[in-house]
Amino acid sequence: MKKKIDTMAKVAMRSRGLSVKERRVRYQGKMFTFKYVSGHYEVFFNDEKVDVIETENINQAIADYKEKHNKTKRQIP
C-alpha cells in the first residue's frame, strides 16, 4: 500500500512542476545526492555541486559518476 501512496505523491509533485528525481548514494564512504535538473543530473556533496552528468537516467548518472571518479583517481601517480 505504501508504494501506491508514494506513486500518487510523485504524480502530485510532478503536476505542480516539482522534480522527484533525486537519490542519495553512499560511495567510498561519502553520501552524494543526485538531483535531476532539466535533462541532466547534478551531483552534490555536503550541499555543494561537485559534478554534472548528462543523462536522464538516474542509474546511468550514478554509474557514469563512479566511472569518471575512478578514472580520475587512477590517473594520479
What is the structure's pLDDT at 38? 86
What is the structure's pLDDT at 77? 47
**Whole-number Å distance between alpha carbons of 37 and 18:** 10
Burial class of residue 33 (count of CB atoms within 10 Å of its CB; 0-12, 13-18, 19+) = middle
What is the structure's pLDDT at 16? 62
- Which portions of the chain are predicted below pLDDT 70? 1-6, 9-10, 12-20, 71-77
Give 56's DSSP letter.
S
What is the structure's pLDDT at 1? 45
**Whole-number Å distance between alpha carbons of 41 and 49:** 10
What is the structure's pLDDT at 39? 87
